[in-house]
Homo-oligomer: A and B are copies of this chain.
Amino acid sequence: MSMSTGTKTQRKSHHGNARKESIVHAAVGAFSAHGYDATSTREIAKRAGIEQGLLTYHFPNKQALWFAATDHIFDQLNIHIEGVLTELRELTEKERARQGIQEVVRYLSTHPELFRFLVDAGNRSDEMMHWLVDTHLKPRFDFMINEGVVNIRGLNPAMAGHAFFALAGATSLIFAVAPTCKRLTGIDATQQAAIDNHAEFIANLMVP
């Protein structure tokens, strides 16, 4: 869907890409849990159930693993959004915005890694941050603007960036620090009831 899938020239391969995918999955979990620097390649290997040496066979280095992991989570997000959009096509603009926002909240509740990668990449090398923005964030951001989420509330287009980060932050933080939230407020943000409450709260906030 984006980078690193390479040419499709039927390479001779014993196990398809199953192993490679399981490594990417493990990398997503590890990077999401501890951030890039604090994640060791040995932990990723352990999560994938393989030896550490195998990582450098499938990926040239740790950073390539991070790129692949980031590609994966955003590819998944894009697939999901595509599906949601077709479902909401026949609603009024306002109702589509409300439902769309609620769906975003629900998705981010089960995929806190998106928020964690965003925050983490923002404080690593420019190389990683620039690539993340240009490859994955910009398309999402431009889409949000064109799709008219901005039109709701008569928002000045110059404020679209503020709306984007406000929505992303308001939506994600509670799920990104769910154990903290549980101890602080008693709300278990992993429960469906809490997720629905948050979705409705955010929708009311953004589209009254």
Task: List residues of A whose CB falls within 8 A of some B CB.
Answer: 33-38, 116, 118-119, 121-123, 126, 129-130, 132-134, 137-138, 141, 158-174, 176-181, 183-187, 197-198, 201-202, 205-206, 208
Contacts and interface: CB of A to CB of B under 8 A. Distances in A.
A188 B206 CA distance: 23
Given A37-B37, A161-B186, A201-B159, A119 B177 contact: yes
A74 to B, nearest CB: 14
A118 B122 CA distance: 16
A172 B178 CA distance: 17
A155 B91 CA distance: 28
Given A37-B35, A141-B184, A172 B169 contact: yes
Given A201-B163, A206-B205, A177 B38 contact: no
A138 B172 CA distance: 20
A126 B177 CA distance: 12
